[in-house]
Structure 1
Amino acid sequence: MTTSLFSRPAWAGIVVCAALLALLPILNLSFAPGHALHISSYTVALIGKFMCYAMAALALDLVWGYTGILSLGHGVFFALGGYAHGMYLMRAIGKDGVYQSNLPDFMVFLDWKAYPWYWSFTDSFWYCMALVVLVPGVLAFVFGYFAFRSRIKGVYFSIITQAMTFAFMLLFFRNNTGFGGNNGFTDFKRILGFSITEPTTKAALYIITLAALFGALLLCRWIVTSKLGRVLQGVRDAESRLMFIGYNPLWFKLFVWTLSAVLCGIAGALYVPQVGIINPSEMSPGNSIEMVIWAAVGGRGSLLGPIIGAFSVNGLKSWFTAAFPDLWLYALGLIFILVTLFMPQGILGLTRKFQKTREAA
């Protein structure tokens, strides 16, 4: 591992890509539809969603690529962050709902008379932002403490993370839990007093998401290039040897696992106002498996790879589900098989291999 992690050309590429992404909402606002330089609102929203996915993939890479912990349950952290923000957005609707009640429409429909206790104080934006961090973080800490203390690892850990996210999905699907059942939270109107459908509000959310993704990348880079990062890679490559020289892997694994969950929760919170809905399907085991595929396709253990994978796979998904909606899952499975067999280091690894071959020639 080098102390720089990214080469100078890589840094130049990161800066150029960030600048181009930041330019999209400006072109959307500056030029009218039909103009050659106009970027549609749909495209801006789609790229904003991809950036949220990229942040979730980056969080997963921190635990899988650098610590060797394969999670098949990160979808639950993503969704919990989304629900925490969605609770504020539902309260912000006020009486503008269908039933013109202080309660959300789904609560009125189900004959709820008051908010449940866990909805208390959720009319405060900053309280809900604290929940975005605390709810996924506390769940990950408690779950991880008992799992890592019991030295559960490998495929067994992957299975229980998948069981966890499936259990939460079933819980949130129930109408009596107060989270909207099948439909979840939707029909948002305002955020901090600003109309959520206004182009300027959407542009601001997009820029905040881009800044969060860039900040998460810098944070993860700082961690993996530090002494802590070397210990995490020691956990991945030779945990028993690490214990022999005096390190306790429990706290290192617990730290990176909790941090990864928090980053995933923040990604989910940024996802909700841009997409306009959060429901229990975000917790489905299939969504967590897709995150793993993003990291694998891009190249795990590289930080940039999962970001590339998230954009690549979801870009392909957007096209494929429009052209061949019934075949996407087959295509996704085929992609994973081909990457595993012929591109074990993912797109980024293939690029590096091509570059070395060209330099040798």
Structure 2
Amino acid sequence: MKNAYENLLGGKQGAIGLLVLAALILVVFPLALDTFRLNMVGKYLTYAFVAVGLVLCWGYGGILSLGQGIFFGVGGYCMAMFLKLEASDPESTKIQSTPGIPDFMDWNQLTELPMMWQPFHSFGFTLVAVVAVPALLALIIGIAMFKRRVGDVYFSIVTQAIAAILTILIIGQQGLTGGVNGITDLKTLLGWDIRDNSAKVVLYFVNAFLLLGCILVGRFVLTSKLGRLLMAMRDKEERVRFSGYDVASFKIFVFCLAAAFSAIGGAMFALQVGFMSPSFVGIVPSIEMVIFAAVGGRMSLLGAVYGTLLVSFGKTYFSESFPELWLYLMGGLFIVVVMYFPNGIAGLWESHGRKWIARFPLGKQLFGVPPPKVRVFAAKPPAASPARELETAP
């Protein structure tokens, strides 16, 4: 029981941090925000899945992927395909030339549903595909890159190139993917109207619980032997390899796990927002997702969530209040964080927040204070007595 407490919750302080985050997203936001704003926060939390995955593969594994939008988009498209098929029943599409297929296929003169869409009539298959397809894609990329010891900036460039290629492919295959508009007009999930306000609230809570579950999985990985190996690989990869460990396999695993987290976020995005488009797959959104993790702290799972919320709230506020200046204000925010808080929000908390909270009785009891530094002096050898010197003299 104690081991599970330490591995899943990170001990006392980890449990407190997780409870604070859970209270914020499960209690404070639902009580303080209306349905529209709550759904907006839910959209922000879907990005947090990607940021949490980046903490694992970048912060601890040293794998900077600038293409996580690939997996976010693939997961979202898998869910959107199921929702679009449900919304394209023969009765709803009877005015089309070919009833029973998505509207964009009819516009592109397709007369039957493509084979790759057929399995997505099943909700069970869709749930498996949401995780399995992006993880399989990450596995292929990982094997191709890490087995050949391609890393550092070269790996980042390759992931950017793959994100650009996938975006072009999605836009070019308009009859299969909806093209630049994406898959839109998603209405129901198993007959349940996801556009209703009550449905949006339910989906928000589902999204929040899934995010907390991913954080627990990530914490379990980081507190295990694998987590220690990831940190060792990040700092001294060659030494770990010479110790007999298969470094490539560990990198592939954590990269696939981060891809699965991103895909879950993409699927929840399609459910909450009601569409999926290639604008969430390319290079720009992938870099924004890295910024989320950097602002929150690339070594903190909880910090990644706070960083996502802070940047997303700032983006929304600046764009609403200063429509002509918001890009400059966002750029200034990033520069300030990088220059003055290189470890993000989590680093700021460790350096200043914990000490400030510990001044109060309750904060001191919860977080404690670091023990005072005690200087240890080496004991001096006893001086030899004159009598002893005479006895030992020749």
2:100 maps to 1:96: no
Deviation for aligned residue 1:97: 4.9
Establish whether residue 80 from structure 1 lines up as the match of residue 84 from structure 2. no
Are the counterparts in 1 of residues 108 and 175 from structure 2 also a CA contact under 8 Å?
A: no
1:15 aligns with 2:19: yes
**Taking structure 2 as the reference length, what is the TM-score of the superposition?**
0.84
8 Å contact kept, 1:25–1:203: no
Deviations 1:149-188 (A, max 9, x none): 1111111110110000010001101144500001101111
Change (3 A) 1:73 1:8: same
How many correspondences in the alignment? 349
- The residue that corresponds to 2:167 in the other structure is 169
Q: Distance in 1 between matches of 2:17 and 2:301?
A: 14
Q: C-alpha separation between the residues in 1 aligned to 2:124 and 2:220?
A: 27
C-alpha separation in 1, matches of 2:175 and 2:65: 26
Deviations 1:111-148 (A, max 9, x none): 11111111012111111111111110111000110100
The 1:244–1:84 alpha-carbon spacing in structure 2 relative to 1, beyond 3 Å, is same
Which of these residues, 163, 166, 181, is aligned with residue 183 of structure 1? 181
More displaced 10-residue stretch of structure 1: 46-55 or 328-337 = 328-337
* Bigger shift: residues 93-102 or 243-252: 93-102
Q: Distance in 2 between matches of 1:179 and 1:24?
A: 38
Task: Tell me the residue number matched to 1:31.
Answer: none
Q: Is the 8 A contact 1:25 1:206 kept in 2?
A: no
Could you say which residue in structure 1 is the equivalent of 2:362? none
1:290-330 deviation line (CA, Å, top 9, x unaligned): 11111111111111111110010001111111123344433
Larger radius of gyration: 2
Query: How far apart, in 1, do the equivalents of 2:326 and 2:165 lie?
Result: 26
Give the superposition deviation at 1:99: 3.9
TM-score, normalised to structure 1, is 0.91
Displacement after TM superposition at 1:199 (Å): 2.5
**CA shift in 2, pair 1:271/1:24, >3 Å:** farther
CA contact (8 A) 1:294 1:310 kept: yes
Counterpart position of 1:256: 254
Cα deviation digits, residues 44-77 of structure 1 (max 9, x gap): 2111111111111101111000100000000010
Return the match for 1:50 from 44, 47, 59.
44
Report the residue type matching 1:40 in the other structure.
D
Structure 2 residue runs without a partner (length 5+):
1-5, 357-368, 373-394
Residue 154 (structure 2) aligned to one of 145, 153, 156: 156
Alignment check: 8 A CA contact 2:187 2:274 kept: no
Deviation at 1:271, TM superposition (A): 0.8
Whether contact under 8 Å (2:60, 2:230) holds in the other structure is yes
Q: Which runs of 5+ in 1 are unaligned?
A: 28-36
**Using a 3 Å threshold, how does the CA distance of structure 1 residues 23 and 99 change in structure 2: closer, same or farther?**
farther
Which residue of 1 is the match for residue 272 of structure 2? Answer: 274
Contact 1:99 1:105 in 2 (8 A): no
Q: Tell me by how many angstroms 1:266 deviates.
A: 0.8
Identity %: 40
Paired amino acid for 2:61: T
Q: 1:209-358 maps to which residues of 2 (within 5 A)?
A: 209-355=207-353, 358=356
Distance 2:93 2:173 in 1: 19
Q: Distance in 1 between matches of 2:17 and 2:354?
A: 18
**Offset at residue 14 of structure 1 (A):** 2.5
Q: Report Cα offsets for 1:303-359 as digits up to 9, x if no partner.
A: 111111001000111111112334443333333322222111111101211146556
Give the letter for the 1:45 counterpart: N
1:136 matched residue in structure 2: 134
Among 106, 109, 119, which residue is 2:107 paired with? Answer: 109
| Aligned equivalent of 1:32 | none
Residue aligning to 1:34: none
| Partner Cα separation in structure 1 for residue 30 and residue 164 of structure 2 | 40
Letter in structure 2 aligned against 1:114: E
Report the aligned-residue RMSD: 2.1
Q: Is the 8 A contact 1:175 1:181 kept in 2?
A: yes
Q: Which residue of 1 aligns with 2:124?
A: 126
Report if the CA contact (8 A) 2:54-2:298 is conserved.
no
User: Does the CA-based 8 Å contact 1:98-1:105 persist in structure 2?
Assistant: no
Change in Cα spacing, 1:214 to 1:356, as seen in structure 2 (3 Å) is closer
- How big is the shift at 1:270? 0.6
